[in-house]
Structure 1
């Protein structure tokens, strides 16, 4: 399971930071992600939620086999979810 944590740079929006972090977790270029982020969540709305410095909270959603957590303190965490079958111990 890969976990990426990154700070949101001021010159980039939240959605761009999410795309770059998921691409890093997947080991691909951002333009290679399928489906695109906008098929899963509205990137403009995600950016607007965290535009206000008074916003407190977090948004969690799943995208491309990853759990994405966006925190109002300026961090994004991407955790790649395990998708294989685990053997059952008897």
Structure 2
């Protein structure tokens, strides 16, 4: 059974390596949703900026807060972005 067939399946939850920590959270979200789809980020059916203010998301993550949790729907998935501590943001993608 693929993750797409199981709506409760967590597709991916990652804390990026330190080198990844300098990349915008919005970029990481697109990459993780594309990975869940088995697709290239440019081929996703939706655009991130139609789902969430990408600049605002990046600004929230850059500010850093242990209370940060942003949830939104994007390209058929539920995305949760959380601050896991200095330089570490997790992106959870579920269907």
TM-score with structure 1 length normalisation? Answer: 0.80
- Alignment gaps of 5+ in structure 2: 4-8
* 1:13 and 2:16 aligned: no
Runs of 4+ in 1 over 3 A off after TM superposition: none
Instruction: Give the CA RMSD over aligned residues.
Output: 1.4
Quote how far apart the aligned CAs of 1:29 are.
0.2
The TM-score normalised by the length of structure 2 is 0.76
Bigger Cα Rg: 1
Gaps of at least 5 residues in structure 1 are 82-90
SS in 2 for 1:34: coil
How many residues were matched structurally? 80
